[in-house]
């Protein structure tokens, strides 16, 4: 899932202060799972904004709505009636959601309320961990399903750097050594032999460096 | 209650058994401005409920919970405490005193403790500047 965090309210206020009415739109997918932009957070931010304006003796119209997914047009349609009634939309979606809203509502300013951080997983309650960089060339099969591109601070593809201590990374002891995890996991699976194969350096041409990526599937198109 | 009545909302865990059937209404009459809301567990209250309550016109919100060890939902009381603290952080961010929220673990069926708490909380809220109400369009 996409992991994000809410922006500070001062930054949000600075961006929306110029509007008389704002539609706060949450997204009940990834950003709900990471407790940043789901129904609860949408209600929380709306109430916080109202209190913040009340304190300043201002009274803009702030309405809330939550979409099942902010990055799919079929779901964006759910706010088709509300959007025209507001001067701007404050999106609690990830960067993709914000841009999808902007594509659909061309005449409406779309303001992000979140900082989109990474692709990750919920490792425990209240803890989200980055574990995929979206490099476009997945080699997890070689590494016991532990990604060296994301989990190794130096992105090494053919073994540890030698700087880790007690399974902790020398870059930051709070980070578990990616290669320690790879070796332990492959050892437990009895598949350490996978590491005898040379893995070439990551091909970054499939990552962000070539500009925005696109997947086109004719079989999925109308 | 002394001073001008202020709107205060009290969320209380129903397992505290503070009121028998019909008693809540009678108690409410004694405390103008007070709204008592019985909830299945204090852990049911989340930060957005608290902020919404204040944005809706309440000047203070009190959450009454069971002792941590007595929580029938095991961790409801503990989680509630954290949520109230989190809501308090939000209040601070928007420049409103987090003292408007209070979380108290009270013994079950102790109406005397409740009245003392309410007196104390009400006088604290009365000493704070009033949050303006949302103007009607």
- A123: helix, strand or coil: strand
Is the predicted pLDDT of residue B137 greater than 50, yes or no? no
Q: Which residue of A has its CA nearest to B54?
A: A51
DSSP character string of A3-55 = EEEEPPHHHHHHHHTT-SEEEEEEESSHHHHTTSSSHHHHHHHHHHHHHHHHH
In a domain, B70, yes or no: no
Segment 156-195 of chain A within 8 Å of chain B by CB: none
B125 backbone dihedrals φ, ψ, rounded to 5°: -65, -35
Distance from CA of B73 to the nearest CA of A (A): 17
Q: Which residue of B has its CA nearest to A7?
A: B93
Distance from CA of A45 to the nearest CA of B (A): 8
Q: Work out how many domains chain B is built from and give that number.
A: 1
> B interface mutation test: which of A11, A47, A50 has the most B CBs within 10 A?
A47
Question: Per the structure block, which two tokens stand in for A175?
Answer: 């980070």
Task: Give the dihedral sign, CA B40/B46/B48/B54.
Answer: positive
How far apart are the C-alpha atoms of A138 and A60, rounded to whole Å? 48
pLDDT for position B26: 85
Range of the domain at B52: 1-9+19-62+77-97+116-127
In a domain, B14, yes or no: no
> B interface mutation test: which of A51, A60, A113 has the most B CBs within 10 A?
A51
For chain A, residues with pLDDT lower than 70 are none
According to DSSP, the β-strands at A61-67 and A21-27 are parallel
Q: Kindly state whether A21 is in contact with chain B, defined as any CB-CB distance less than 8 angstroms.
A: no
Contacts B54 to A, Cβ<8 Å: 47, 51
**In 3D, which of A69, A37, A63, A36 has the Cα closest to residue A49?**
A63
Q: Are A114 and A90 in contact (CB under 8 A)?
A: no
pLDDT for position B136: 52
Of B48, B95, B131, the CB nearest to A43: B48
In a domain, B58, yes or no: yes
Q: Kindly state whether A48 is in contact with chain B, defined as any CB-CB distance less than 8 angstroms.
A: yes
Distance from CA of B47 to the nearest CA of A (A): 7
Q: Are A25 and A92 in contact (CB under 8 A)?
A: yes
In a domain, B40, yes or no: yes
Of B90, B132, B134, the CB nearest to A44: B90
Which residues are CB-neighbours of A193 under 8 A, at least 6 positions away?
none
pLDDT for position B135: 56
Whether A48 sits inside 8 A of B90 (CB atoms) is: yes
In a domain, B137, yes or no: no
Contacts A52 to B, Cβ<8 Å: 94-95
Contacts B90 to A, Cβ<8 Å: 9, 44, 48
Would you kindly state where each structural domain of chain A is located, as residue ranges? 2-118, 135-209
pLDDT tens digits, B26-81: 888 888 899 999 999 999 999 999 999 999 999 999 999 999 999 999 999 999 99
Of B51, B96, B131, the CB nearest to A44: B51
Of B93, B134, B137, the CB nearest to A54: B134
In a domain, B24, yes or no: yes
pLDDT for position B22: 79
ipTM of the complex: 0.91
Please list the residues that pair with A67 across neighbouring strands.
A27
Contacts A55 to B, Cβ<8 Å: 94-96, 131-132
Question: Measured between alpha carbons, how far is residue A116 from residues A41, A95, A138, A209 in Å?
Answer: 15, 6, 22, 19
Burial (Cβ within 10 Å: 0-12, 13-18, ≥19) of residue B79: buried
pLDDT for position A181: 97
pLDDT tens digits, B93-121: 999 999 999 999 999 988 888 999 999 99
Domain A2-118 has CATH 3.40.50: yes
DSSP class of B39: E
In a domain, B27, yes or no: yes
The model carries a pTM of: 0.91
């Amino acid at each position: 899932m996409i992991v994000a965090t809410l922006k500070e309210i001062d930054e949000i206020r600075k961006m929306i202060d110029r509007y008389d009415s704002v539609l706060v739109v949450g997204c009940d997918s990834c950003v709900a799972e990471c407790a940043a932009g789901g129904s609860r957070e949408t209600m929380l931010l709306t109430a916080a904004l109202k209190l913040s304006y009340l304190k300043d003796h201002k009274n803009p119209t702030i309405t809330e709505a939550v979409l099942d997914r902010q990055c799919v047009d079929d779901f964006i349609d759910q706010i088709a009636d509300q959007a025209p009634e507001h001067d701007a939309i404050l999106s609690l979606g990830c960067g993709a959601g914000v841009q999808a809203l902007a594509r659909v509502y061309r005449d409406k300013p779309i303001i992000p309320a979140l900082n989109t951080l990474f692709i990750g997983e919920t490792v425990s309650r209240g803890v989200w961990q980055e574990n995929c960089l979206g490099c476009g060339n997945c080699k997890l099969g070689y590494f016991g399903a532990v990604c060296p591109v994301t989990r190794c601070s130096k992105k090494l593809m053919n073994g540890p750097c030698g700087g880790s201590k007690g399974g902790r990374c020398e870059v930051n002891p709070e980070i578990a050594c990616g290669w320690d995890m790879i070796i332990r996991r492959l050892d437990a699976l009895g598949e350490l032999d996978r590491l005898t194969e040379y893995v070439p350096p990551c091909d970054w041409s499939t990552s962000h460096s070539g500009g925005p990526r696109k997947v086109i599937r004719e079989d999925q198109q109308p | 209650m002394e001073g001008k009545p202020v709107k205060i909302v009290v969320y209380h865990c129903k397992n505290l058994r503070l009121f028998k059937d019909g008693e809540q209404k009678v108690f409410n009459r004694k405390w103008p401005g007070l709204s008592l809301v019985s909830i299945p567990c204090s852990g049911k209250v989340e930060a957005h409920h608290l902020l919404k309550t204040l944005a809706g016109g309440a000047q203070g919100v009190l959450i009454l919970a069971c002792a941590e060890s007595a929580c029938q939902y095991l961790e409801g009381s503990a989680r509630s405490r954290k949520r109230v603290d989190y809501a308090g952080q939000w209040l601070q961010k928007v420049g409103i005193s987090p003292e408007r929220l209070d979380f108290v673990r009270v013994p079950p069926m102790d109406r005397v403790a409740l009245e003392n708490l309410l007196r104390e909380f009400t006088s604290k809220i009365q000493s704070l500047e009033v949050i303006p109400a949302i103007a009607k369009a």
